[in-house]
Amino acid sequence: MKFTQLILESDSQILYHRSEHEFKDGEILEAHTSKKYNSDYENALEKYRLHNYPNKPSRRKCFYTSPTDKSRFHYRGFLYQVKPIGITHTSNSNIIDTLANAYYDGFTQIVEKLIEEYWEPGNKWVNKNQIRNIEVLCNRIQVISRVNNKNELFSGDELKCIKDFEYYLDKDNLISKDLRKQLVNKEIISYLSKEKILTIKKNTSWKITEINKANDFNLNKLNGNLYSVDLTNDDFTIELVIGSDQITNLNKFLKEHFIKL
């Protein structure tokens, strides 16, 4: 039996769905048309679907689900266990990333091949080794339950710093001497010989005011991990960003330096 069939023909038929909305257990959800997927390559995908597979769910009107709770989109909102209702389509989200790059680079033959493969992916794209990248499109789903993971971060969460770390100020986020003195007196920061380098001190409390996922910036290799996080302490905000201040993996950095309260 193909892996695609195994996903949807198991006894439990449990899939996982991410959403910023809060749903109740047992709630049945109907997909609505989204304006988000209106790029040229998405339009080409939809045109091909309408002509060749009109009964398959449209990417413009579907729920995106995964056979694993550890998919590449693990920072896309709350995690729910769901059961698909009706017709589904199983494919690989990496096809979309590759398609977008090929489309805008003008590789017409590759684009045509990828569009065909998205709607007929076969074992090349849908297999156990690709499980984190597999997406199952559903017109309707029933919520089984919300999966609570205390380690996941969302805007509004409060964190405690558990390890000192250096934070580099740039010309766009320099702080005044008065504020710096105030923060030092409160034992929130200390600073080194160079005034542009602060030390964020352990045992300080912070609140997430903004959080961005890597996929929002099309950083495909980061597979849905965090791209940037803004943390606020009183009137002072720090921005932790992939690629700055020697942060190569923001998820790992946060885990090493903060705990969620």
Tens of pLDDT along 173-199?
677 778 888 888 888 888 665 667 888
pLDDT attached to residue 4: 52
Q: Is 63 part of any domain?
A: yes
State how many domains the chain has. 2
Instruction: Answer yes or no: do 24 and 141 share one domain.
Output: yes
Q: Is 23 part of any domain?
A: yes
Most confident option among 38-47, 138-147, 203-212 = 138-147
Q: Is 96 part of any domain?
A: yes
Residues 144-170: what's their mean pLDDT?
Answer: 85
Instruction: Answer yes or no: do 180 and 123 share one domain.
Output: no
Residue 216 has pLDDT above 60, yes or no: no
For all residues of the chain together, what is the average pLDDT? 84
61-65, 83-87, 191-195, 220-224: range with lowest mean pLDDT: 220-224
Instruction: Answer yes or no: do 15 and 121 share one domain.
Output: yes
Residues 68-76: what's their mean pLDDT?
Answer: 76
Instruction: Answer yes or no: do 224 and 97 share one domain.
Output: no
Instruction: Answer yes or no: do 26 and 85 share one domain.
Output: yes
166-170, 219-223, 255-259: range with lowest mean pLDDT: 219-223
pLDDT attached to residue 182: 83
Q: Is 244 part of any domain?
A: yes
CA-nearest of 73, 92, 93, 69 to 82 is: 69
112 φ/ψ angles, rounded to the nearest 5 degrees:
-60, -40
- Domain end, chosen from 147, 173, 206, is at 147
Instruction: Answer yes or no: do 94 and 181 share one domain.
Output: no
Q: Is 78 part of any domain?
A: yes
Q: Is 106 part of any domain?
A: yes
- Domain end, chosen from 147, 176, 204, is at 147
Our CA angle for 87, 91, 94, nearest 5°, is: 150
- Domain end, chosen from 101, 124, 147, is at 147
Whole-Å CA distances, 146 to 26, 69, 138, 189, 208: 10, 11, 18, 38, 22
Instruction: Answer yes or no: do 64 and 95 share one domain.
Output: yes
Q: Is 152 part of any domain?
A: no
Range(s) of the domain holding residue 214: 158-260
Instruction: Answer yes or no: do 130 and 78 share one domain.
Output: yes
pLDDT attached to residue 10: 44
Q: Is 153 part of any domain?
A: no
- pLDDT tier at 11 (50, 70, 90 boundaries)? very low
Instruction: Answer yes or no: do 137 and 36 share one domain.
Output: yes
The CATH number of the domain where 143 resides is what?
Answer: 3.20.170
Residues 31-54: what's their mean pLDDT?
Answer: 90
- Rounded Cα distance, 206 and 167, in Å: 14
The answer to whether 16 touches 145, Cβ cutoff 8 Å, is no
- Angle between the N-to-C axes of helices 40-52 and 108-119, in degrees from 0 to 180, rounded to the nearest 10: 50
Instruction: Answer yes or no: do 18 and 43 share one domain.
Output: yes
Instruction: Answer yes or no: do 117 and 201 share one domain.
Output: no
Give the chain's radius of gyration (CA, Å).
22
CB atoms near residue 70 (< 10 Å): 11
Whole-Å CA distances, 130 to 8, 74, 211: 16, 15, 27
Instruction: Answer yes or no: do 112 and 168 share one domain.
Output: no
